[in-house]
Amino acid sequence: MPLGAAKPLLEIVMKAILPLVQFGAQFKMLSSDYEVVHVGKDQLRITPMQGGPTRVMKFETLSELVEQGQIKAEYTPPSASDPLGEGLYSGLTEAQLEQLKRRLHYVHGVYRANENPCSQKEIRAQIPELAKRLSDQDPPGASTIASWVKLWLDGGRRDAALMPSIKPSRAVSSLDPDVDRIVSESIQQVYMTRQRNSMKAVCADVHLRITQYNEHSAAQLEAPSAETIRRIIQRIDLYARNKERYGTAYARRRHRAVGRAFSAISILDLAMADGQIMDIIVVDADGQDIGRPFITVIIDVYSRCVLAAHVSLAPFSGATLLKTMAEAVVANGKEPRGIMSTLIVDNGSDYRHAGFVRFCSQQNIVVEPCPPRSPNGKAIVERFFRTLNQGLIHKFPGTTFSNPTSRGDYASQTFARMTIDDIRKHVKVWIHDVYHLEIHRGICRAPIDVWSEGLNA
């Protein structure tokens, strides 16, 4: 084979496997479904979707199986649409992509309609119509659009001129080799143990070792920051971390395949939102039956803490999700709250609500739809709903139970006594005093303990 033929062949193979070399990718191999739960330097960690232990697969083996047609991709996260990074949108988060589309909408609209597209007076007249087409309830000002138009024109009318800046990768270590060695030793001896020491303990050990090194060496080492050490720890295979710190049984349970859910590496790294009609009939102030309420929840995947729970008579929609999000991100004493990095939502159109999309964009929250054909994709939230019903709702008068068989001849409407305000109060107290404090079977610990540990890490 000519020397020059090797490169095109390599590129073909890499194009075939790169969509699978990322968290959450799913594929079929020998009639079984698998999910990628970790990507290493030269290998993947995969787990069967039907349950079972995780396995390691080398990139070389993956390439061979793909080339032989024994592996077929079933689902790849949105970022895999341009695996080699050659397209315009490569590297953009969902929020950044929406930001780019919004800019282009106004710029293209102004450019087509005005002879002088940089004129703020002409732009101001166009804003209402352009905002209406986009359902943008908070459109940019004329000066902002004018600056976008100028950037676009100066960039040769290329859409890439309006792309948001992409943060540079921090995957490559720039530490001194001796510092790198000290950090690695501290992580193995302090963090990767059943003692479960915090990241702060690792930092303290690293700084002490470097101080001792500098006392006996002419070459003085500079201690890395706590943030640098944290990033190094988070790049370690999460399965390996959990196995060393909590044991094999915990690691296997934690890393069962459920879509993107188990890629969370810290609190507020990943949250999941969903809604459900509640198993109870509520009444108004006069005791009249007004139907079954709906509940929308947002759960932190890493700790399983409930960041917010919104109960209302309004059907599940983007509007109710927006109200729940507003509660989740606002501090409230010692309650688990905060802005998550990524939010997993349903594939339905309810999540395309303009207010919800704009809110997430403003808070730099990446919104990802639940992977299709993934029955366990929302298992964490669905398990919470089941626990809420069994532990609280089914004990109230007027409950409908989970199904007609369970309900039997119980007359739910006849016995209904609870108002929607009653339900809200009881749900809030139950989450705070029961759910957050009890041992969660999925993580083998109390959610509030995992949350507190995450805050102090």
Assess whether 354 and 449 both reside in one domain: yes
* One domain, residues 229 and 313: no
Burial of 372 (0-12, 13-18, 19+ CB in 10 A): exposed
Q: Are residues 190 and 321 in the same domain?
A: no
- 251 within some domain: no
Show the 3-state SS of 203-223: HHHHHHHHHHHHHCCCCCCCC
Q: How do strand 270-277 and strand 342-345 relate by DSSP bridges?
A: parallel
Residues 192 and 317 in one domain: no
Domain count, the chain: 4
Assess whether 224 and 358 both reside in one domain. no
Q: Provide the domain limits for residue 443.
A: 261-456
Residue 434 and residue 305 share a domain: yes
Say if residue 279 is in the same domain as residue 417: yes
What is the pLDDT at residue 7?
Answer: 41
Secondary structure letter of residue 418 according to DSSP: -
Q: What is the pLDDT of residue 411?
A: 80
CB neighbours of residue 173 within 10 Å: 15
Q: What is the pLDDT of residue 394?
A: 92
Measured between alpha carbons, how far apart are the two ends of the chain, in Å? Answer: 54
CATH number for 425:
3.30.420.10
Is the same domain home to 226 and 265?
Answer: no
**Residue 170 included in any domain:** no
Tens digits of pLDDT across the chain (457 residues): 343 444 444 445 455 677 777 766 778 887 777 878 777 767 888 877 665 567 788 888 888 888 888 888 876 654 433 333 334 444 456 677 788 888 888 888 888 787 777 888 888 888 998 888 888 888 888 888 888 888 777 665 666 667 765 444 333 446 788 888 899 899 999 999 988 888 888 988 998 888 888 888 888 888 898 888 888 887 777 777 888 888 877 776 666 544 444 457 789 988 999 999 999 999 998 889 999 999 999 999 989 999 999 999 988 788 888 899 999 998 888 899 999 988 888 766 556 677 788 888 888 888 877 765 554 567 788 889 999 999 999 999 999 987 777 677 788 888 899 999 999 999 999 999 999 999 887 777 889 999 998 887 6
360 & 227 share domain: no
Report the distance separating Cα 429 and Cα 439, nearest Å: 17
Domain ends where: 116, 139, 162? 162
Parallel, antiparallel or unpaired: strands 294-300 and 270-277: antiparallel
Amino acid letter at 138? D
Looking at residue 349, what is its pLDDT?
54
Query: For residue 172, is it within any domain?
Result: no
Q: Cα(427)–Cα(282) distance, rounded to whole angstroms?
A: 14
Give domain status of residue 240, yes or no.
no
Residue 242 lies in a domain: no
- Tell me how far apart the alpha carbons of residues 264 and 270 are, in angstroms, rounded to a whole number: 5
Q: Reduced to 3 states, what is the DSSP secondary structure of residue 319?
A: helix
CB 370 within 8 A of CB 346: yes
